[in-house]
Structure 1
Amino acid sequence: MREFLRQREEVFFENVHRMRRKDGSYQWVEVRGRVVERDDAGRPLRVAGVQSDISQRRELETRLERLSAGVPGALFEYRRDPNGRDSFPFCTDKISELLELTPAQLRQSAGHLLKRVHPQDVAPLLRSLLVSVQNLTPWRHSYRVLLPSGEERWISGMSQPRRADGGATLWSGYLWDTTQEHALRERLDMLVENVPGLLYQSRLEPDGRKHFAYASKGAIALYGVTPEQMCSDAQSVFARFERADFDSGMQKLAASARDLTLWSHDYRVNLPGQPQRWVRAQARPQRLPGGAVQWHGYAQDVTEARAQASRLQEAQQLLDHLMREMPVALCMVDQDGLFYYRNRAFEQYFGYGPEEVITRERWWHEVYPDEDYRAQMWRQWNDAKANAPQHGGRILPGDARMWTRSSGQRIMSVSGMAFGEHYLLAFVDQTEQHARSEMLREMAYIDALTGVANRRQLDLTLKAEWGRCRRSGQPLALLMIDIDLFKAFNDLYGHQEGDECLAAVAGALRAGLSRAHDLVGRYGGEEFLCVLPMCDLDGGLRKAETLRQAVQDLAVVHEGSNVAGVVTVSVGVAAQLPDELGDAQQLVAQADRALYLAKQQGRNRVAGG
């Protein structure tokens, strides 16, 4: 203690140490006070302060450390005195992993943490604390820290303030690493921002109100409003629709809400000082709890496309409070499979009341009602438990489809910690993230107009099948398909009919491919490409003729055609055994030459090359 005071220059001091009792045992003591007098050399002569026995508190903190070891983050208590001095009287050892600071350093002064905060985030962090201390409102904030190792890390925190003796403010809270979450969000935002057009969510409430729940930055270019304006005032968007198009769109929306069918609409938009635009939108509806209907959709400016065709959250109390109120669903299970602790988020997620008795057998049958999937998850759970000792008792995160009483099936990320035969489990809802990722994936690989594979998916599939057939020694066939006299069709009937014709032909081609590994996609314009693995030239010719006839059987009238009076296609077929010397593009060129030959021979026919 003497050495501690000698080394410090501050007037006020705080120290925690052990003292030996008369019976030889030790007790933990916390000393708080101030240096009253120093000698000429600056050494303390007199101090005034208070010593407190904190042995019981230390024991509770030790229990807290053990219980919180499986929580992905650090629990803390932050104190700010009226004189501006601040510190962390308590924090779990996980704080060292998060901030590369020891609990002892933070007990001395919170300034150690502030020095780690990114310069651009210091002022917003202090402002958020000021608002919380003035209003005694819950604090929640995210900021970056710069670690001595050079790593930049995102930290998120949440806490509940309360007044303490002497006018100080205490925050009991939780800090966790959100670096990966921020990276994923930035990556997702980048994907969303680079999708040409507008991604959005619109909602129809049971009372008839219509509003937007989400809009990407594409709203600015498409409607001349920011995403925030679009979500706060739907009329700012609706007012720009051509009235007749808006009325017909609302009729389609009502039918989509009633039948939960895909909503699709082309409409005109009038922006101040700009020429009138055409927008094409598609959205898939979803019935929400409470009766509202929400659409997940995509809109894009098709003005040029149409023009070119005529012309896209005290220690035992602290532990209970933090674990119960933290935004992660938590439960603890004993050796007999009894769920003896559940926090509020767990009860909200899964719909269990606080008095309900949950056993392992009941839990597994309710959240995994499908027997086969339950058996699969049981094997994964046993593997995770077996591997926990290799990871310091941690049960590594894994996704699972779980049935909840409150909102049906959800995708949960499940992780935890093993304490002997007891387990702490944490559940994080990943449903919306998975849904958004799936929506972006579909947009990246499906042609929006025809619903078949786009050029990117065709190129990837062709490359993969070329390599697979080369390794297995099987042939690969390609069908290059072109709609005969399609320009004349567009000139005669218009581009709307032309789009419908493309979609109908694509549907006939897709329906004509019976094998699961065959693929048809839009190669460009009115051209389609079929990839037929493990198919030779004869098989390709037979399949081409079947598809040609299927298109003709659609009987789409084409008065501008001198071939058959209906829409027809010409097909070029090529096949070969892939080898190390060649590549798939050679096969594409061969099919293209065969297509040219079919056209030369009078169209509405199949030619092989």
Structure 2
Amino acid sequence: MKSINLTGMAMVLFAVLLSLFVLIGLQLFRFESKVYRQHEIEEVKQQLDERAAALKARIYANIYAVSGVKSLVAMNPDLTQDDFSRAMAVQFREKADLRNIGLARDMVIRFMYPLQGNEAAIGLDYRQQPNQIEAVRLALGLNKIVLAGPVSLVQGGEGLIARIPIRVDDPASGKERFWGFASVVMDMESIFAGAGIRANDGALRISLRGRDAGGPEGEVFWGDASVFARDPVTQTIELPYGSWQLGAIPAAGWSPYPILDAPMMWMYLVVVSAILMFSIVIIILLAKTKKATNTLKKERDLFAEGPVFTIEWRAEPQDRWSMVYVSTNVEQILGYRAADLIDADFCYSSLIHPDDLSRILAELQSNIEAGTDRFEASYRLRTGNGHFVWLYDFTILVRDQAGRVSGMRSYLYDQSAQKYAEEALRLAEARLEKTAYELTENIPIGTYTMVQPADGGMAKFAFMSSRFLELTGLSRAEAVTDTLRAFACVHPDDYDDWVALNAKAFAEQAPFFGETRLLIDGQVRWVTAESFPRTLADGTTVWEGVLADITDRKRAEEALTESLGRFNDLVDHVSVGVYVFWHRGDGQSDFEYVSDGWCSMNQLDREAVLADPNVAVEVIHPEDLAEFKRCNQQAIEDKSQFRWEGRVIVGGVVSHMLIESSPLFFDNGDSRWFGIQQDITERKRAEVLLRETNNALENEIIKRTLVTEELRIKTDLLEKLSRQDALTEIPNRRHFNERAKLEWQRAQRVGLPLSLIMIDIDYFKKYNDHYGHADGDACLKQVARALKACVERPLDLVARYGGEEFVALLPETDRSGAGHLAEQMRAAVEALSIPHADSSVAGVVTLSVGVATHKDGNAKANLSQLQACADQALYRAKHQGRNRVELEATPPEQQTSV
């Protein structure tokens, strides 16, 4: 009778399985097709993300490489072309993407770098350029950088134009006023090539749209426009204002799923055929193994709903890591269905973080070869939503009688909380090091710059902050004279390794980082040194680095290491305690199971706990007991997961514990709770230490920043006051002397004329005696304003030379032009009609003026000779009747009086 029933059951099962496998085959085909397409998309997206990040970084690097022009204009609104060229030469160095930069004061381009080849742009008025004024007005209205283009460049190729609005302080109103624009032209092809973007690079077909930062709705301006009509992978590139959109597809287009060449489909047909052929045998074998299955199921049910999930593997897991069983709670922990993980095509190693994979495979192989049957590891695993979580994995190897591995069982739980706390501490340290590198003299981090010759000789110190000298115990003269003196303070035990590490970095010209001990005045301090090389065009290598005192951090690390060691000593095989607890419908409760780890963690006897559950409650801290009971009652009422963090007292010691459990409810009112208990004392201490460290760091940064800003403001104010005459508010003699030296050197270098005008108010002493010093000061102010108004070119300078004397410096001005301007000045002051009753020249204030010119047939040996000639001309003007202009003495046939 049983045989007949079994035969009928087998026939029915055969028909059901045949229908089911047909449906599964169709679903498998759809699923594999989708996975195949998704894999293609992920590959394209990964490559496109790299190119997009590189393109964005290159654009911003070029823009911000010249963004310092705003500070240059703010510090010197009246800068010259020479000042501008020198500043931009530094910024354009090794920036192959930059074509040129222009400064448009009041909407008119007045300065350009490089000037050669761009002279025609000088004087261009944006208000007269219909094709550019809209972008200019947009940048002005937004008061931010606006990127326009690409546009065709006269020099060839296509370029991008970044317009940077510049505002400066207006002393009259106390507010900022619009000064003008900086326009930066960048070579688009150079930028794209540097970012690794090509229209068809063999792997991808790429297109770019959003001309003039128009975003996804903008015009396609680079690549094949048809890419955006073929379901591309896209990436948005955010610009200072607006955006671009990159689109990409595989170079050969999206390919269909290769069903005839897919091993999965052939494997499926083979497996289905085998299953159908041996279905009757399997039914018989299922009956024989039912008892073993029930035993295994009981063990699996222990973790089926808790925070710990189990996985069972086939033999030789190092090959594909295929699984035969996964507990059902894996879906709520990792977001994967158990059925998907057990699939024969699923490869567990594909979920492991790439940075952890090789280490885990090596550890597994090593344990198998060493005959270790129980071991543990921590690594990161990708969840169903694409995030990575840290897992603690306790693994047991199952061996047959011959000692061969026949299977493997792993117990895993989420360890992310502890790992995130450790990562937060690491990031805090990294942020501290970065902040220390960016600050200079006013922070407790030593900064230095070393210059290594192109021939690879010994590097020399070019700059050392005060903190650097303090940390090394050196004087500035000692470090500059002998570079090796900086190594003399290294601890003797570290000296050889430290010197070798530095020598290796200099030889390879690679970024340097190291930690060592210093021995200063008998005290040992830990320091970290970090420097990065930058090779200039002439082959010289500049090393910019920082030296930081990390003694306190080292001590904290040693304390943390000691604490972690004590924590690890408490962990035997599994670092959590596991328990199963019953809450009865009549209000009674009892423990069904407690692990050895749980008993050891709470220092309780298993038999005592199983006999009386209240023994477990007695270890909870009295101040946290009410909250524990409330959370427990709330979980029962809501039929939700129980989670509690609090203190326990075990052996007189207070510890922090994390207790989590998941319930299973029955119709009779009973509930069964599967839970774990984890000691989180060290994590709590680390969180407290991290908060205190972050707070201290943020407070220190705020203090240092305020002090630095205050010092900068005071320095700028003193610098300005030291160069300006307090009474007339025009440049003083010191400013004139500095400018005169620079213009003399430039005149010598480029061979252009340089003129000098010496000016003296006629009979000013009598004016003061007659009208008083108050009116005398007022007279000096009016004369200064009149003289300054006569000068229109940015290069020209009018300054107060002393008392009633003034001076005018006129670069690139010949003898005739200087004489003409001198006469304008004399006439302008006379036109003021300032009464002067004691003047023997006129009834108003007048000037005597002397003019001298370098070059123009009368070259001077030096600047002093030029000034002497102007003084002599002024002397003749006074002795020939005053209120007149005299040019420097020349041969009789060339002498002229104005």
* TM-score bracket for the superposition, by shorter chain length: 0.3 to 0.5
Structure ranking higher in helix proportion: 2
Q: TM-score, structure 1 length as denominator?
A: 0.44
By percentage of residues, which structure has more strand? 1
Compare CA radii of gyration and give the structure with the larger one: 2
Relative CO higher for 1 or 2, CA cutoff 8 Å, sep ≥ 6?
Answer: 1
